[in-house]
Amino acid sequence: MGKILLADDHGLVRETIAAYLMQNGLHEVTAVGDMTGAEAALDTSSYDLILLDYRMPGMESLDGLRKLAERFPDVPVALISGAAGGEVARQAIDLGAAGFLPKTLGPDDLIQAVSTLMAGGAYIPDDALADASHRLTPREVEVVRGIAGGKSNKEIARDLGVQEVTIKLHVKTLSRKLEARNRTHAAMRARDLGLV
């Protein structure tokens, strides 16, 4: 039996995951709703695993993960998310996360993931890393960041020192990769994936 700290700002999700882990994994779970609560819990008790929601108050994208991984290097930290994709999973691992758990995981997979993490292993579902369709080239990332910043194709072309037609090609390619309907949708999808 291990002690798990679960931080998620959605009460129903938090309570459902906590109850399931306690019933099926026989773990003791402390559930909090934001980063401040997580830090307070960690200051008063020790845990065998920390599960952090990617989007919750105080998380500041992946800064909260980085901070906890640095403060508690001996405790595995895993990111849980309902929206983030493969790029965020890769960034989280680069920052010291031991795992990435999509909220779409089935109950048995969740128990398996937690068991793996508590045994000192890493857990990332294959489909999170096989998210190759979302892998933008560095130039495509620059272009979608320009779009997200409200710049026109002409402005992005001037910033990057290329022709406007080149930017139009990049927009077409990155929109296809992101399964976006238009420039604005591409910027929104890129933001959801943590690319901008």
Radius of gyration of the chain (CA): 19
Report residue 131's pLDDT band, with 50, 70 and 90 as the boundaries: low
Nearest CA among 84, 37, 34 for reference residue 59: 34
The reported pLDDT for the residue numbered 130 is 52
Over residues 127-140, mean pLDDT: 65
- CATH superfamily for 3-129 is Response regulator (3.40.50.2300)
The reported pLDDT for the residue numbered 133 is 46
- Residue written as token pair 């910027």: 187
Beta carbons within 10 angstroms of residue 36's beta carbon: 12
Using the predicted structure, report yes or no on whether residue 54 has a pLDDT greater than 70: yes
Give the pTM. Answer: 0.66
Report residue 195's pLDDT band, with 50, 70 and 90 as the boundaries: confident
Using the predicted structure, report yes or no on whether residue 101 has a pLDDT greater than 70: yes
Using the predicted structure, report yes or no on whether residue 76 has a pLDDT greater than 80: yes
Over residues 109-118, mean pLDDT: 92
Fold category of 136-192 in CATH:
Arc Repressor Mutant, subunit A (1.10.10)
- For the chain, give percent helix, strand, coil, nearest 5: 55, 15, 35
Using the predicted structure, report yes or no on whether residue 17 has a pLDDT greater than 50: yes
Question: What's the number of CA atoms in the CB half-sphere (13 Å) around residue 45?
Answer: 15
Using the predicted structure, report yes or no on whether residue 129 has a pLDDT greater than 60: no
Every domain range in the chain assigned CATH 1.10.10.10: 136-192
The reported pLDDT for the residue numbered 78 is 93
**Lowest-pLDDT choice from 17-21, 31-35, 161-165, 181-185:** 161-165
The reported pLDDT for the residue numbered 132 is 41
Every domain range in the chain assigned CATH 3.40.50.2300: 3-129
